[in-house]
Amino acid sequence: MKIASIINGAESIDNREETLMVYNPHNQERVAEVQLADENELNAAIDNSYETFHHTMKTMPAHKRADILLKAAELLEDRLEDFAQIITKEAGKPIQFSRAEVKRSMQVIRFASEYAKQISGEVIPMDAAIGGENRFGFTKRVPVGVVAAITPFNFPLNLSLHKIAPAIAAGNTIVLKPAEKTPVSAYMLVKLFHEAGLPVGGLNLVLGLGEELGDPLVKHEKIHKVTFTGSLGVGRIIRENAGFKKVTLELGSNSPNLLFEDADLEQAVPSLVKGAFAFSGQVCISAQRLYVHRSIYDRFLDDFKKRTEELVIGDPMDEATDFGPMINEEAAERAKSWIDDAVIHGAKVHTGGEQNGTLLTPTIMTDVKSNMKVIAEEVFAPIVSVIPFDTEEEAVKAANDSIYGLQAGVFTKDINKAFRVADKLEMGGVWINEISTYRQDNHPYGGVKQSGIGREGVKYAVEDMTEMKFFGLNLDSYQ
């Protein structure tokens, strides 16, 4: 399968030599050959999105945008299995999780379809200001224009949709640059939207390397908004390159989960095994740091280890597989080197820690220190550390000792303590009696500190993809 960028609905495959191979991380089989876009194609895509915005999308009524989104959701539902299979092939995600991703993606499009009809402004009490008598003022939310959407490999479908669906709901056009490691599901998605009736220039696809296409895309004067999900390092570059453009950054974290002495371990342990090891920890809100009250530490650790060792490791295409490869060997080697580095400085590997090719076995670490990479940085790998604490204050302080702040989990039956701790945690979101890794697609989602800027979750993304425009009327002139 050879794929190329899609500009104004056309995909022009030629014999150029600049191509990139996408390999299945599990068995290294070739999934696709990608023809890389050059700067001329990038500019053509942006120009076309700009024209389509001004001539079509800007004036398309809300009911039509909602219908297109609904149709896209229906098409995706029909093709659930095709999309799930391709996510598993290109990302190495176990098939049960790929199916779950497609189901979430369908919901995201449906939320956007519903919200397309709700986008509204407010009436301003103009006479509250001296001299404001006989004036009428109101606001509308208007689309920003062309949205550049840059997405990561770990949820290649759903995180693309968290940008595309609200952008369409708001009446924008989009230039999508998906992760070069997982471009095939995004390619299929763009075609699906065209089939659903979206004007073809409403969604253009450019395939290429981030470091080559990223800068000219983000800097281009016809791009009005950049929405990015990915790593902190790239987020920093984008923030600098974007200048005056609106920017949403959904970046990484080293999510903490706090388990107090009265935590329900029956519920917490299996959830945390999933929260730490789903998709080999390559999830931005993966449970990375577990702070456990000393009175339950041994019991927790035994049970957590036992259940972790029960995970079925294998071919992501097998229905029974819970745990598969990392995205590539380089990522697995990098993660393994962080484990080794921690061990040299006194940490212990309680279970796992074995790396072979793209596979790194589910790893639990203890005796870690706050300055070790496995704690201080985002591991983005199947590595979780368990750390005992004595007081609430100590646990909160340790959890907040991070450059990140995306989501946290707090486990206790004491509701007063739960709210007190949740208030003190420096996070974009806190779950009580739920893992940090849990996310629904309709709640506000995003980080504080260096975890990002802005919020996604369809309604909140729409807010960030529209401008508030004020209209005022001097009624005196009608007297």
Residues forming the active site: 250, 284
Name which of residues 83 to 102 contact ligand NAD (CB under 6 A). Answer: none
45 is a site residue for ligand NAD (CB under 6 A): no
Sheet with strand 30-35: strands edge to edge: 2-3, 30-35, 19-23
Shortest separation between residue 150's beta carbon and ligand NAD, angstroms:
5
Among 97, 115, 277, 380, binds ligand NAD (CB under 6 A): 380
245-304: which residues touch ligand NAD (CB under 6 A)?
250-252, 284
Q: What's the rounded Cα separation, in Å, for the pair 448 and 430? A: 12
Complex with ligand NAD: residue 199 or 454, whichever CB lies closer: 454
d(CA 165, CA 460): 12
Shortest CA distance to 385 belongs to which of 310, 308, 321? 308
376 lines the binding site for ligand NAD (CB under 6 A): no
Choose among 9, 46, 457, 424: nearest CA to 193: 9
Applying CB under 6 A, the span of 2-10, 207-215, 271-279, 469-477 interacting with ligand NAD comes to 207-215
Q: How far is the CB of 183 from ligand NAD (least distance, A)?
A: 9
Name the minimum Å distance from CB 180 to ligand NAD: 5
Which of these segments, 108-116, 164-172, 244-252, 294-302, binds ligand NAD (CB under 6 A)? 244-252
Q: Minimum CB separation from ligand NAD for residue 282, in Å?
A: 7
DSSP state, residue 354: -
Relative orientation angle of helices 415-424 and 392-400, to the nearest 10 degrees: 30
- List Cβ neighbours of 205 (8 Å cut-off, separation of 6 or more): 5, 6, 7, 45, 175, 176, 177, 178, 186, 187, 190
| Interface segment toward ligand NAD; rule CB under 6 A; list 85-93, 111-119, 172-180, 460-468 | 172-180
333 touching ligand NAD, by CB under 6 A:
no
In the structure encoding, which two tokens stand for residue 206, read together?
Answer: 């450019």
Which member of 41, 101, 322, 378 binds ligand NAD (CB under 6 A)? 378
Residues 414-473 that bind ligand NAD (CB under 6 A): 452
- Any contact of residue 210 with ligand NAD (CB under 6 A)? yes
The least CB distance from residue 233 to ligand NAD, in Å, is 7
Does 203 help bind ligand NAD (rule: CB under 6 A)?
no
Question: 407 vs 466, which CB is nearer to ligand NAD?
Answer: 407
Indicate whether 230 belongs to the interface with ligand NAD (CB under 6 A): yes
- Are 166 and 458 a contacting pair, CB within 8 Å? yes
> Exactly one of 92, 94, 145, 152 binds ligand NAD (CB under 6 A); which one?
152
Query: Would you say 262 and 414 are in contact if contact means Cβ atoms under 8 Å apart?
Result: yes
Regarding 151 and contact with ligand NAD (CB under 6 A), the answer is yes
Residue among 255 and 466 whose Cβ is closer to ligand NAD = 255
Q: How many CA atoms lie within 13 A of 89 on its CB side?
A: 17
Q: Three-class SS of residue 468?
A: strand
Q: Looking at 103-185, which runs of residues are DSSP E strands?
A: 123-124, 135-143, 146-150, 173-177
How near is the Cβ of 149 to ligand NAD at its closest, in Å?
A: 9
If one asks whether residue 218 binds ligand NAD (CB under 6 A), the answer comes out as yes
Radius of gyration of the chain (CA): 24
The CA distance from 149 to 274, in Å, is 29
Question: Closest separation between CB of residue 259 and ligand NAD, Å?
Answer: 23
From 211, 240, 330, 394, residue interacting with ligand NAD (rule: CB under 6 A): 211
Q: How far is CA 247 from CA 143, 198, 217, 219, in A?
A: 14, 24, 13, 12
Q: CB of 241: closest distance to ligand NAD in angstroms?
A: 7
Q: How far apart are CA 316 and CA 85, in angstroms?
A: 10
Q: Which is nearer to ligand NAD, 84 or 206 (CB)?
A: 206
Q: Determine contact, residues 68/198, Cβ cutoff 8 Å.
A: yes
Number of residues counted as binding ligand NAD (CB under 6 A): 29
* 421, 410 Cβ separation under 8 angstroms: yes
Window of 7-15, 186-194, 234-242, 419-427 that interacts with ligand NAD by CB under 6 A:
234-242
Footprint of ligand NAD (CB under 6 A): 150-154, 159, 177-180, 210-211, 214-215, 218, 229-231, 234, 237-238, 250-252, 284, 378, 380, 406, 452
